[in-house]
Structure 1
Amino acid sequence: MLIYIITFLISLFFVYKAQLSKSIVLSLLFLLFGAAIPSFVAGVRDMSIGVDINVYAIPCYDLAMATDFSDFSTLSIRWGVVFPLMIYLGYIMGSLSWGLGFVEFFICINVLIALYIQRRKMSMAVGYFLFLFLFYNMSLNLMRQSMALSCCVLAFSLMINAKYKISLIPLYLAFLSHSSVVIFGLLLMEFYFLVINKKKKGVYKMVFYIGLPLVVILYQKIMNLAIQWGVLTDHYEAYSEGGNTFFSYTNTLSQLCFLILMLLLANKNRMFKDLKPFSLVAIYSSLVFTTLSTINVWAFRAALYIEIIYLIIFPLVIKTTSNRLLVKSFYVFVVLLWFYDSIINGVNGTYPYSSEVLPSFF
């Protein structure tokens, strides 16, 4: 556990200094350090840290060693485009550890760019704090999806600033990382109807509040129909298969807590009024998906495409709230959630951490 705490604290220090610095060069340098430190820890970890290493990373690296680049680029397409490229760069450098480090750096740098875009409206350190405690351990396991998530939060940050055309670039990279990114389309719909097009905001809120529970009830039928009609490919058949985990229940409870915290933080907060309806509907959507994960384990991954925007919306509302006790309670809740999931329950298989490079006492 100590290695994660030290990594988080040092990384947050550099991100905090990056926002304070008046020099663009120094800010960029601090941000690079903020991304490089967790990337180094991710790169030098043993191959037992993160279940998906054996599912994706090692087979992809073995393929790179056994084929030339032309054959590799063709055969590795099953793992997306961006992830195999990072692993291949690791192969060029001579080690899978380099590839794992490149994967994590891609994730961290996307998150930091997203936060940097909003630096005048919020604390970057708070956003990175949420990433480290809510998503870092997961990124050591669900590497491909974490790459897609990092692209999504970058796209969302650009959309808040009305950079809609530029946001298509990270969205495309997200699709090249993991095809499940189509689920992010739900969030884009919510953003359009509740932030961009405000003419019938009340009607749209009711549609989302009533419609999403129906998705819970009719989820499998909707997925099967979409596949039959050709809207989705056969690849998405896995998303309609049953399965459940205990973690999905605890995650549902945590999303309910996030919803309550957002309600309290945004209450009578005039500076956050434009994003308040969207933020509440988004968290409600995540709550619905995590509830659905008690029936279908893939719904948990769908919820992640909504939860990733917490890195933006919570720092924004925290910046404009005057209730400091509530803010401190929010920080404590996030840390306790990380401790319960990653340390006590061992979610994502990242604890205890082990490495041949870092000292064993970590």
Structure 2
Amino acid sequence: MGYIFWSIVAVLIPCILAGMRADSIGTDVAVYAKPLFDVAHSCSSFGEFYGSGFVQHWSYANVSEFELGYLVLVWISSRLFDSVQGLLFLTQLLIVVPIYWTLTREGNKETLAMGMCLFLFLYFNQSLNMMRQWIAMAFVFFGAVGLYKKNGSTENHIAGIVSILIGASFHTSAVLGLAVFAIRSYMDSSSNGQLKKVVHVCGLALIAILFIGPVASLLTSFGFGSYVAGYLGNQSVGIMPNQIIMRLPLIVFALIAFRRTEQRDSFAAFLLCMVIVGVLLSQLTSLSDHGGRIGLYFDMFALVLPSALLRTYQINNATRFAIKSVLIVYAVIYWAYFYVLMGSSETVPYLAIWG
């Protein structure tokens, strides 16, 4: 009972903080969350809400332009609460619960605490802004780690894919989760060695970035033109050193786990792929303000790095303590740089404070 109680507390604290924040924290709150909530609150039925329009960031938008899953969430929130804070609370709940549940399945209490620590320092601020995408990402994470089982049955794989498709109902970009799921399956396959498979996956990601123009054209032909315009911008990739430097420790941690298992652990190989691809895709920030968000679908699997690292050091307590300390210090530095100093994600007006 104590574990359940403290788990509820651990989940509710970030959700309550998200719900209590001012409307100005997280620009997407003012851009679409609050306007959609106000429209839903004034409508008598979901059909009326779905067919309505509203002013979005000084331009007119139709409610139906948003993903159905998110609209259902807004509608339910408008029936349960009288203010947008209720919607913000439920939004965070749909982010934190899948992540927390996945971390409980993947490790133990020690790695669960470390994984949540990484989430709060690395990604919590982002989740207050990119709300729809973070719900989508949480379900991708849940599908590719929480529900996926090595050598599992077809039902296990279907469940994971369904979770990813549920994520896509909140933000269409969750279709990237199918690529994540495919990589997970490839790493578990018997073909080639793990190192070769890591090289194959990362090499393919690098080629996609170097030839981003044809990739953008292909995505446009599949009906993702609006996302191509918003995420891939001018389609001329440049190097973003700060994005690389701040993520290098994640690659080092993943390499330690990968090497420690003598390259036989398919899960350690999968995590190494995720963090390397995440660093590569972070360079898409050079295309547009939203470009780097694509890499987050891969970046976020760093949350299970503590599980991969600490289970390889079951006896050496001093080494385990050192790993946890380094992870926490890294997370604090990351938070201080991106969110405090740089004012990323528009969650707190740090830029105004620092002048």
Given the two structures, how large is their TM-score scaled by the length of structure 1? 0.81
Q: Measure how far apart 1:32 and its partner are.
A: 2.1
Q: Measure how far apart 1:142 and its partner are.
A: 0.6
Q: Deviations over 1:51-80 (max 9, x none)?
A: 111111122112213433212135534221
Aligned position for 1:58: 34
| 1:71 lines up with 2:48 in the alignment | yes
- 1:290 touches 1:299 (CA, 8 Å); kept in 2? yes
| 1:236 lines up with 2:224 in the alignment | no
Separation (CA, whole Å) in 1 of partners of 2:224 and 2:338: 33
Separation (CA, whole Å) in 2 of partners of 1:227 and 1:243: 13
Aligned position for 1:158: 147
Q: 1:246 to 1:217 in 2, by over 3 A?
A: closer
Q: 1:337 to 1:106 in 2, by over 3 A?
A: same
Aligned position for 2:272: 280
Structure 2: gaps spanning 5 or more residues: 53-62, 351-355
Q: 1:173 to 1:28 in 2, by over 3 A?
A: farther
Aligned position for 1:329: 326
Letter in 1 for 2:233: E
- 2:213 touches 2:235 (CA, 8 Å); kept in 1? no
- 1:90 touches 1:97 (CA, 8 Å); kept in 2? no
Separation (CA, whole Å) in 2 of partners of 1:276 and 1:310: 11
Aligned match of 2:89 in 98, 101, 110? 101
- 1:272 touches 1:317 (CA, 8 Å); kept in 2? no
- 2:338 touches 2:344 (CA, 8 Å); kept in 1? yes
| 1:342 lines up with 2:339 in the alignment | yes
Separation (CA, whole Å) in 2 of partners of 1:244 and 1:138: 25
Separation (CA, whole Å) in 2 of partners of 1:271 and 1:120: 23
- 1:153 touches 1:309 (CA, 8 Å); kept in 2? yes
Per the alignment, in what secondary structure is the counterpart of residue 64 of structure 1? helix
Aligned position for 2:283: 291
Aligned position for 1:6: none
Separation (CA, whole Å) in 2 of partners of 1:205 and 1:153: 19
| 1:36 lines up with 2:36 in the alignment | no
Separation (CA, whole Å) in 1 of partners of 2:217 and 2:279: 23
Q: Measure how far apart 1:246 and its partner are.
A: 11
Separation (CA, whole Å) in 1 of partners of 2:143 and 2:336: 29
Separation (CA, whole Å) in 1 of partners of 2:238 and 2:91: 29
Q: Measure how far apart 1:351 and its partner are.
A: 2.1
Separation (CA, whole Å) in 1 of partners of 2:85 and 2:207: 44
Farther off after superposition, 265-274 or 121-130: 265-274
Q: 1:329 to 1:101 in 2, by over 3 A?
A: same
Structure 1: gaps spanning 5 or more residues: 1-22, 354-362
Q: Measure how far apart 1:102 and its partner are.
A: 0.8
CA RMSD between the two structures:
2.7
Separation (CA, whole Å) in 1 of partners of 2:192 and 2:185: 11
Q: Measure how far apart 1:171 and its partner are.
A: 1.2
Separation (CA, whole Å) in 1 of partners of 2:331 and 2:84: 32
Letter in 1 for 2:291: A
Aligned position for 1:215: 208
Q: Deviations over 1:214-251 (max 9, x none)?
A: 211111221113323xx233333323323899995422
Q: 1:206 to 1:344 in 2, by over 3 A?
A: closer
Separation (CA, whole Å) in 2 of partners of 1:345 and 1:298: 16
Q: Deviations over 1:101-127 (max 9, x none)?
A: 111111111111111222449621111
Higher relative contact order (CA 8 A, sep 6+): 1
| 1:133 lines up with 2:133 in the alignment | no
Q: Measure how far apart 1:327 and its partner are.
A: 3.5
Separation (CA, whole Å) in 1 of partners of 2:236 and 2:269: 31
Q: 1:108 to 1:206 in 2, by over 3 A?
A: closer
Q: 1:54 to 1:181 in 2, by over 3 A?
A: same
Aligned match of 2:307 in 287, 306, 315? 315
- 1:87 touches 1:96 (CA, 8 Å); kept in 2? no
Identity of aligned residues (%): 20
Q: 1:60 to 1:97 in 2, by over 3 A?
A: same
- 1:265 touches 1:326 (CA, 8 Å); kept in 2? no
Separation (CA, whole Å) in 2 of partners of 1:36 and 1:28: 12
Aligned position for 1:224: 217
Q: 1:338 to 1:236 in 2, by over 3 A?
A: same
Within 5 Å, give how 1:248-287 maps onto structure 2.
249-269=241-261, 273-287=265-279
Aligned match of 1:189 in 173, 182, 194? 182
Q: 1:247 to 1:219 in 2, by over 3 A?
A: closer
Aligned position for 1:359: none
Separation (CA, whole Å) in 2 of partners of 1:250 and 1:272: 32
Q: Measure how far apart 1:255 and its partner are.
A: 2.2
Separation (CA, whole Å) in 2 of partners of 1:122 and 1:74: 48
